[in-house]
Structure 1
């Protein structure tokens, strides 16, 4: 697994001798306090080490970043798997008001989706769809914040196929729920920072049973990637203490639609029956506002 912290810190160390006096002060601070620097504005870092904000921006440019925000995101990417909830809340100090919050959060989610679209491996996506249809049973594992993704995925996939099971917290432990998994089944593991240890442990146990595993996570550096047969990634950079699951949800939607298109005739008949049931038992409110 690539150590992203070591890569960036080593880059700073390699270029240290070429830096100006002010930039060296910034470099020394980041090397020793990269976890704090990740949440500091360019102005705040400048004040802390005694240089101007423009010197901080030039330092980021020297490292190959377009500006300081890009360097800051790189630092946050390094430590996001280790962030406590309190540290995540501190990220919110960058917002000035509610209007600023909605603009930055939505823009961040848009960036995550665009990055995911640009970097998706279409060949792996196709193989994932194939594996879903080859499996006798499909187990979806997602805990903590990924529980919402697993439940959503399982709900819609179960409307198309009849062999889907959602594995989660409950009366039965995770390992008990996957005890009957066989080599003919497929397990889909979902986990995003901060990665759930229980999800990783469960997938490692399943891997020992020679079961194929699909991973849905944020990067190839994720601990899921080394466990899974195929991994699909969706960017989940956070804008604050709330995990950004917009791009992962969009990726899951794409999987559901792709599966549905292969079963178009069957699900058309199935949904026709469902519509009759929903109408008969008044499941949905069909009234429109006047």
Structure 2
């Protein structure tokens, strides 16, 4: 990216004040840590005031410090190791109230996602899924349970769904017949998996369309997809916060279900008959 935050800092170095140069040099030297610091903390580390940090962000062209911090986080998130995540996120978590800190971050992420989700793009994705000849769902590592969750419900709505298992040798076997008219729904968040990217390239080479569920326009999945749903997946220490992605999947399932309301109602009516006949839910009272 020619206009990322580090590029802006390097280009603007000659015009910075002494204090701003200290901020700039710290970010260029250790952007991993800087990306998770508050404006106050970054000011303390570089021995400038919080207001100087805020003005620095504005001088770079960002609408305040949070926007610059987000740009930094998107830049570095994809390459941090688990140990670097633990170190970089130290300022985010209140060790005296870990439960509250983590849940509050999840709530903040959900709010940001609600505000940022592109409703038009969401409707495009729903339309492409409903019209697809066959739907392939892929997510590896921490995204694999998201893929499995989506597959569970899509199997009750569609007859044409394949959950692509993430074992390296099996992915291409399972996608061997993918082609024009099919959709690969690829789920991927930092650190982006090369296995996911290989599957995406394979699907595109075969003429299928790729829909991405990922975190930002800097994601490698974004540039390779015909439609993308961007959702915040914040890092909390070594953990990927999946609160917002799960909520987005719930919205997607409900939206697709409404588009195929008759089929969905018929499927669940049949399932209720099966569940009732074979006593799937509940238990017998032996007393």
Compute the TM-score of the two structures, normalised by the length of structure 2: 0.86
Structure 1 Cα separation of the partners of residues 238 and 188 of structure 2:
17
- Determine if the alignment matches structure 1 residue 106 to structure 2 residue 100: no
Q: Out of 213, 216, 221, which is 1:216 matched to?
A: 213
Query: Which structure 1 segments of 5+ residues have no match?
Result: none
Kindly tell me: are residues 133 and 24 of structure 1, through their superposed partners in 2, closer, same or farther at Cα, counting changes over 3 Å? closer
- Determine if the alignment matches structure 1 residue 152 to structure 2 residue 152: no
Kindly tell me: are residues 84 and 161 of structure 1, through their superposed partners in 2, closer, same or farther at Cα, counting changes over 3 Å? same
- Determine if the alignment matches structure 1 residue 60 to structure 2 residue 57: no
Kindly tell me: are residues 92 and 35 of structure 1, through their superposed partners in 2, closer, same or farther at Cα, counting changes over 3 Å? closer
| 1:170 CA displacement | 4.4
Matched ranges for 1:154-173 at <5 A: 154-170=151-167, 173=170
| 1:93 CA displacement | 2.2
- Determine if the alignment matches structure 1 residue 116 to structure 2 residue 109: no
Structure 1 Cα separation of the partners of residues 65 and 274 of structure 2:
56
Q: Out of 94, 104, 123, which is 1:96 matched to?
A: 94
| 1:207 CA displacement | 0.2
Matched ranges for 1:1-290 at <5 A: 2-3=1-2, 7-39=4-36, 45=42, 48-49=45-46, 51-52=47-48, 55-64=49-58, 71-94=68-91, 95-99=93-97, 101-170=98-167, 173-285=170-282
Structure 1 Cα separation of the partners of residues 191 and 122 of structure 2:
24
Contact between 2:137 and 2:151, CA under 8 Å: does it hold in 1?
yes
| 1:208 CA displacement | 0.8
Kindly tell me: are residues 107 and 133 of structure 1, through their superposed partners in 2, closer, same or farther at Cα, counting changes over 3 Å? same
Structure 2 Cα separation of the partners of residues 123 and 74 of structure 1:
24
Cα RMSD for the two superposed structures? 2.6
Structure 1 Cα separation of the partners of residues 182 and 20 of structure 2:
55
The count of aligned residue pairs is 280
| 1:86 CA displacement | 0.4
Kindly tell me: are residues 285 and 10 of structure 1, through their superposed partners in 2, closer, same or farther at Cα, counting changes over 3 Å? same
Task: State the secondary structure of the residue aligned to 1:231.
Answer: strand
Task: State the secondary structure of the residue aligned to 2:162.
Answer: strand
Kindly tell me: are residues 135 and 13 of structure 1, through their superposed partners in 2, closer, same or farther at Cα, counting changes over 3 Å? closer
Kindly tell me: are residues 266 and 66 of structure 1, through their superposed partners in 2, closer, same or farther at Cα, counting changes over 3 Å? closer
Structure 1 Cα separation of the partners of residues 223 and 252 of structure 2:
22
Contact between 2:137 and 2:184, CA under 8 Å: does it hold in 1?
yes
